[in-house]
Copies of this chain bind each other. A is one copy, B any other.
């Protein structure tokens, strides 16, 4: 009864093996920061491979990404044994193995909801498709926008969300709607069977059943810059 908060902040690990009733398969326990870095590793490795490199050491990889060599080895170590002592990591071996871990060895189908400013720009963004994220359906609430044509097809009405998500086997959603609509749309995505939401609305989404979410909050990022400059101004200010 001493606990003062009801909301347990839940899993810090990509692992919910704490569930009491079975816990049978304990499927790889990775610290969150390591999981976030693995995508960076993959991208750098791919770039190196594209340039004809065939092996890389933890030190090289670390230097390129601003990390220590030990950190790189520890991070990779959470996912398995990939390296060759005296040699380093072999790109043609490591890259597919990381892709498989992340899940980008296959295509993920994505719904984009909200075709305003940001939504339209995202629909045109090349980086998604080139890494296996296929924007499969577009949605908007505004009758003015529904029916418009984009590269990915016609903009659908929100009414069709559930049906299309299911029919098209869509697993991920990009939420690019105004803040007022964000939570409701997120809940609908969840009910429609979407398992992951990339949220651009400047709002913390509440926990939704069976859904992961990641928020990209542009203003907050600028505020981080402002804060870090405010707290520790770079030297060389004019007007001392």
A214-240 to B contact mask, C-beta < 8 Å, 1/0 = 101011111111111111111110000
Segment at the interface with B among A137-145, A153-161, A194-202: A194-202
Q: Does A52 contact B (CB under 8 A)?
A: no
Chain B residue contacts of A59, Cβ below 8 A: 4-5
Which of the residues B14, B118, B125 comes within 8 Å of A227, measured between beta carbons?
B14
Q: Are B232 and A14 in contact (CB under 8 A)?
A: yes
Q: Are B121 and A202 in contact (CB under 8 A)?
A: no
Chain B residue contacts of A196, Cβ below 8 A: 225-226, 228-229
Size class of the contact patch on chain A: 35 or more
Interface set of A (CB-CB < 8 Å, partner B): 4-7, 9, 14-16, 27-28, 30, 35-36, 38-40, 42-44, 59, 62-71, 101-104, 108, 110, 117-118, 120-122, 124-125, 127-128, 131, 133, 171-172, 195-198, 202, 204, 206-207, 210-214, 216, 218-236
Whole-angstrom distance between the alpha carbons of A156 and B204 in the complex?
36
Q: Are A5 and B70 in contact (CB under 8 A)?
A: yes
Chain B residue contacts of A120, Cβ below 8 A: 121
